[in-house]
Chains A and B, each alone.
Chain A
Amino acid sequence: MRNSTKTRVKLLMNEMTSSPHPFGATRQRQDAQPEPVSAPALRAEVRNLDFWYGATHTLKSVSMAVVDCKVTAVIGASGCGKSTLLRCFNRMHDLYPGNRYAGEIQLYPEDRNLIEMDPGMVRLRIGMVFQKPNPFPKSIFENVAAGLRVRGVNGKSLLYERVEQALRGAALWDEAKDRLHDSAYGLSGGQQQRLCIARALAPQPDILLLDEPTSALDPIATAKIEDLLTVLRNTVTVVIVTHNMQQAARISDFTAYMHLGKLVEYGVTEKVFTTPQSPLTNDYITGRFG
């Protein structure tokens, strides 16, 4: 089981590295080297991040790490600020007036604070999948190609290559390959969400953000997305917000627990779930709260 997953990852890896990155950036994949022994490489690091919706202080001095090519889950009760934190990563809050950040989210390897970057630049590098599947009212092909078109990629053969690669990456190719030019609205909810994942993957983002991606889906569709995330792990850096603790335990390498805008606990998923340091985390994961 583990082995077969690994070979799938390798296959996926080969596909993904065979095509050029849209910005020519070369990326270090951990799988290309022997298993890392030293401290894992960071893709991003949140340092003392505060956030306000108007006068409401929703994130209070949050600090956490996002490890390269690992799945980081953010859990917590409704209204704890986990989605707010996620939306800071690609500056979604900048679309609406009255929002304010303070602090840093450092992006690695270049060590730049994305809070001070141009929001458009940030979103070109950090992809997002939303709570409700939100495909564009266009064909399946055009949905996946959308991110590439935004980046000025218009060559037909290159688009086809990248769309196929992204659909395979999102485990949707077999279901979609014969209807690439049909409307995306003809897909089921779970397929639409995988399409949104393919759309976010196509431009090969540095980090993939998932905001409760399975909360609108039935258990079978949810299982498929979780399988997909398990495959993506080790090739893409993922940050996922979920209210489903079992899901976090199943698919993530690192877990952050948030409570009332504060980050209470952060660590390796297994440890957070078996030996939580904070009594708040313990209450939450044992179901006494939330």
Chain B
Amino acid sequence: MANSSLANAQIESARIVAANRRTDLLMASIGILVLGIATLLLTSVFVGLLASGWDRLINPDFYTHFPSRHPQQAGIISAIVGSSLVMLVTAVIAIPLGVAAGLYLEEYAPKNWLTDLIEINVSNLAGVPSIIYGLLALGLFVYAFSLGETILTAGLTLALLILPVIIVATREAVRSIPLELREAAYGLGADKWQVVRMYVLPAARPGIFTGVIVGLARAIGEAAPLITIGALTFIAFLPPLPVQATPPFVNFDWLTSPFTVMPIQLFNWVSRPQAEFHVNAAATGVVLMVMTLAMNALAIYVRLRLRRLHR
């Protein structure tokens, strides 16, 4: 009697273990399948672009020439310089503003309905279509502030676009710092700013950095808002150099220079009827993807390094 109930219990538990194993196997197979599809799609896009753009990619002229009516002579130098300068303006404006706003909301703002409202709005802003930001920038920066269709306007527009991403990332990073760490710092008599500067910011740095790179990677691929503010597609000159031989040795004229960026150049070429321009477009696409991947790689590297320093 006792023996048979023991045997029954053993059979029963064997059945449960076997069922669990089957479920695990099923979930793992589905996971691998989904992952495979996603990776395959991404790789095929990249390989496709690489194959179609190969002839131009291996030609150094492609990187040093201005756009041209002749597809064989057209290059992306103005787009590369334009994208770099616009990203510089975007980073200089969006990073300090976003980090400061995130810190304020998480550390200093009183916990009331107004803060909640701001929080909800900021999160929603991260999901607003980029062309809406373009319309805002057209009305505000181009017309109201008369900044024109310049690198400065583009940088400001993209800064607005990625500000919510940086704010949200900063808040998450700051929020994830354990309470014990804060209490330890406050317990030593540190005031709020000391706690933030000496303990919260250093510990939150990897998370903030990730948010910044995700934001910048999004900004570098944006064409719509910049077309809206009136970016040109055909730029046969470079902005003035930021350094000069005569005092004061630096100038900011480049900020007010017209510009084009990589995604706009790509869009322009791909909409031409001639097939040769499509080769240029594919090559530009590869360069843009490599730039984005390089930024992500940098983010991962810096994050790992900061983490190691921090442990």
Name A residues whose Cβ lies closer than 8 Å to a Cβ of B.
90, 92, 95, 97, 120, 123-125, 127-128, 130, 132, 134-137, 146-147, 149-151, 183, 185, 196, 199-200, 203
Contacts and interface: CB of A to CB of B under 8 A. Distances in A.
A133 to B, nearest CB: 9
B273 interface: no
Nearest to A146: B188
Contacts of B194: 150
Interface stretch (B49-57, B177-185, B278-286, B292-300): B177-185
Given A136-B185, A199-B184, 18 more contacts: A95-B182, A95-B186, A123-B186, A123-B188, A130-B183, A130-B187, A134-B178, A136-B184, A137-B202, A137-B310, A137-B311, A146-B188, A146-B198, A147-B188, A147-B189, A150-B189, A150-B194, A200-B188
Give the interface centre of A92, A95, A132 by most chain B CB atoms within 10 Å.
A95
Given A97-B111, A137-B310, A185-B311, A149 B198 contact: yes
Interface in B196-255: 198-199, 202-203
B190 A95 contact: no
B189 A120 contact: yes
B199 A136 contact: yes
Interface of B: 111, 178, 180-191, 194, 198-199, 202-203, 310-311
Contacts of B310: 137
Contacts of A123: 186-190
Contacts of A120: 189-191
Given A137-B203, A137-B311, A150 B183 contact: no
Contacts of A130: 180, 183-184, 187
B124 to A, nearest CB: 26
Nearest to A135: B184
B180 to A, nearest CB: 4
Given A136-B181, A137-B203, A183 B187 contact: no
The 10 A-B residue pairs with the shortest CB-CB distance in the complex, in nearest-first order: A124-B189, A134-B180, A128-B187, A147-B188, A123-B189, A150-B190, A134-B184, A137-B310, A120-B191, A150-B188
Contacts, number: 63
A136 to B, nearest CB: 6
A203 B189 CA distance: 10
Contacts of A125: 189
Give the interface centre of A147, A150, A183 by most chain B CB atoms within 10 Å.
A150
A127 B187 contact: yes
Give the interface centre of A97, A136, A200 by most chain B CB atoms within 10 Å.
A136
20 contacts: A92-B183, A92-B186, A95-B182, A97-B111, A120-B191, A125-B189, A130-B180, A130-B183, A130-B187, A134-B180, A135-B184, A136-B184, A136-B199, A137-B202, A146-B198, A147-B189, A150-B194, A150-B198, A183-B311, A185-B311
Contacts of B191: 120
A90 B203 contact: no
A146 B185 contact: yes
Nearest to B192: A120
A265 B182 CA distance: 34
A141 to B, nearest CB: 14
A196 B189 contact: no
B188 A203 contact: yes
Contacts of A128: 187
Contacts of A127: 187-188
B173 to A, nearest CB: 14
Contacts of A151: 189
Contacts of A134: 178, 180-181, 183-184
A120 B178 CA distance: 21
A135 B180 CA distance: 9
Contacts of B111: 97
A199 B190 CA distance: 13
A97 B188 CA distance: 20
Contacts of A147: 188-189
Nearest to A128: B187
Contacts of B178: 134
A185 B187 CA distance: 20
A236 to B, nearest CB: 16
B2 to A, nearest CB: 40
Contacts of A146: 185, 188, 198
Nearest to B195: A150
A95 B181 contact: no
A120 B191 CA distance: 6
A200 B180 contact: no
Contact of A90 (B180, B187, B202, B311): B187
A193 B184 CA distance: 12
B206 to A, nearest CB: 11
Given A134-B180, A149-B198, A200 B185 contact: no
Nearest to A95: B186
Contacts of A92: 183, 186-187
Contacts of B198: 146, 149-150
B186 to A, nearest CB: 6
A181 B217 CA distance: 37
